Structure 1
């Protein structure tokens, strides 16, 4: 401060400016443990399990329908193969046991 000039004569003449809380106060300090909910709820999982698999179920049903349609053809082919193999077995058995008296190939 320069002497003999108008203005403050002492530090006591300074206006008071003190830091304080904002109007309404500070926000409360959170000190409790907060576990966040990360992930879907049980109801969302259940709903997704029940309703979300509709396209996949439709594809599976289409595949099963195709298998059911072709199954009789595959079964007929297997039956034909089995009868052929069984006749070969009976011919082999008759050839092996031809010298045994009283042996009948059934």
Structure 2
């Protein structure tokens, strides 16, 4: 009896895996691309923070340099309002004998008047 033996050199290997070709780049290339984009984004973000800090510093200095101008404008407005009040008082109390112009308070203390920003009803011109 003759035994059935494998051929000389053996049988061909059995293909048990799927032979799917690789598509696209290697994952390491994708990872390197994502890391590069993130690094660039963080760099630009840090630059924008520096620029925003510089703009904030410039705004603070601009406001500091404008304070004397704004105080001068406020003082001019206060003087204008005090003169207008004195004129109104002179017009109202012109008939009263013994009336002295000035403060209605019973002290010599200087009291800084506080005014609102709206127009005065008495000063507004009436339509004719």
- Normalised to the residue count of structure 2, the TM-score between the two structures is 0.40
